[in-house]
Amino acid sequence: MHKRIGRASARVESEPLLPNPPVKVFVCHSSIGDGASGTLIRALETGLAPECYCFVDWTELVLGQTWREPINTWLEHCDAGVVVLNDKALKSPFVGYEVSELTRRWRTSGKTFPLIPVHVKHADAARSVGYGNLHTSPLGPWELHTIDAHAHDPDTDTDGAQAVAAIKARLMAAKAEMASLPPQIRQVITLLKKVPDDSVKDALTAADVHVRQLAPTTENELERLALALRSLGLDGARPLLQVLRGNFADPDNHWKEFHLRQIYNLLALFWVDRPSADAIARAVKGPATERNLALDADQRETARFYVHRACDKVPADNEWMIAPVTLVAGEELANDDFLVRKIRQAVATRLSTSDEELDQDLKLHDDAGNPVFVIVALASLPAARITRLRDALKTVTYVFLSRPSEPADDARVRRLVPRLEKADEDAFHTRYRNNWKLLMPQST
């Protein structure tokens, strides 16, 4: 920690947000064993700074931790992407995963999201990357071959300086098109505004963010702290939240337990991948008969995170209401009449209404654009059962927790992708529970 001499306590509320923020660049690559690509990536890390900050897996990921949370966070919230393409990257499933999301952002932004492929020349011409072999490679469906690329020749640009200069020029030209912050991060900033300046400065310093020690905390610094909390994952964010938390035993403390729980849950939402969240958001706006989603998950709480991640309002549960259904394994699971009764009962309880008024209340919510979700675990999803459930509750959105070996029998059921592996789901919930236990002070 840096020694502090003192600082003003007043916060400057009117300062514009980040007058000169760094461009957050996701560097996608598969460079192990390829010296030329490795040299280029290290040149990007150093040469793009300080105007740009690069996310490179070998720098940001901790050995032994699952990659899903930080990778998904950066894929969604980076300002630009650089894809270093060598012959290894053309066949890498990890590169394919990252490229699928980067190109999705490129397409949905109207091709304004800065995405820069870099074709790395190899001494063996057959292993060099060009538009032709990129088009025919496993990365072909993502249309990288249609994007203007930078051709990098390690023989003439040995230290990568020419490539860095060209890429930096393109990134600076696109800087004015930066996307606005998502609502969850804006709410994190709102919560941080309640925290005393001293604690904000301490948390920024702990996050290795340079702060002006003697100046009031600015909106610039609040946004940088919010982004740092988001990008660190729950393990990394927890120590910073402990700095920010304050003393709950003090009746005048800036945060109550409610505030701590809210910011913790907001940060946890970024574990959910953006494509799944977008699929959920599209489903609730689509035809009622097709509001059927399947999620590879075992815990109902997992579906809550997915649904709340998809909602563009905070707090999400005021707008998107969730009714979890608990079923007991056995013959009851095969009885559709019993299943319908259980679901209607759960939804009526969630909406604080009666079975007689349930259909009317569901229509009221649907007309107002406030979707109601039913979360239920079902091992199989035959078409006849989907039809029965849709007839019983015409406007709800079903999220079926299911890990089948075969796809659903009904084409109206959309399985969320990328698929969620059981190990990733279990690891997330373990981190979620353990970090909260450490974060929440024990009563004495």
Q: What is the pLDDT along the chain (444 residues), one digit of tens a residue?
A: 332 223 333 333 333 333 356 888 999 999 888 889 999 999 999 999 888 888 888 766 555 556 667 788 788 878 899 999 998 999 999 899 999 999 999 998 888 899 999 999 987 777 888 888 888 889 989 989 999 999 999 999 999 999 999 999 999 888 756 656 789 999 999 999 999 999 999 999 998 877 776 678 888 789 889 988 998 889 999 999 999 999 999 999 999 999 999 999 999 999 999 899 999 999 999 999 999 999 999 999 999 999 999 998 998 888 899 999 987 665 556 788 889 999 999 999 999 999 999 999 999 999 999 999 999 998 888 889 999 999 999 999 999 998 876 666 788 899 999 999 999 999 999 999 999 999 986 654
DSSP calls for 49-68: TTTEEEE-HHHHPPTTS-SH
- Residue 55 corresponds to which amino acid? F
Residue 166: the pLDDT is 94
CA atoms within 13 A on the CB side of 95: 24
* pLDDT computed for residue 182 by the predictor: 85
Residue 93 contacts residue 30 (beta carbons within 8 Å): no
Q: Please give the Cα distance from 75 to 81 (Å, whole number).
A: 8
Let me know how long the chain is.
444
**In the chain, how long is the greatest CA-to-CA distance?**
77
Distance of alpha carbon 203 from alpha carbon 244, whole angstroms: 7
Please give the structure tokens belonging to residue 119: 């074709």
Residue 420 and residue 417: Cα distance in Å, rounded? 8
pLDDT for 10: 32
Q: Crossing angle of helices 300-310/274-285, nearest 10°?
A: 80
**What value, to the nearest 5°, has the Cα angle with vertex 245 and ends 10 and 427?**
135
CA distance 19 to 343: 51
Residue pair 84/28 in contact (Cβ under 8 Å)? The answer is yes
List, in sequence order, every residue forming a beta bridge with 27; answer none if it has no partner.
Answer: 82
- Can you give the pLDDT at residue 2? 32
CB count in 10 Å sphere of residue 122: 16
pLDDT of residue 277: 94
CA distance 137 to 91: 7
pLDDT score for 336:
87
The number of beta carbons lying within 10 Å of the beta carbon of residue 334 is 10
- The number of beta carbons lying within 10 Å of the beta carbon of residue 367 is 9
Q: What is d(CA 396, CA 416) in angstroms, rounded to the nearest whole number? A: 17
pTM of the model: 0.67
Other beta carbons within 10 angstroms of residue 93's beta carbon come to 9
Asked whether 280 and 239 are in contact (CB, 8 A), the reply is no
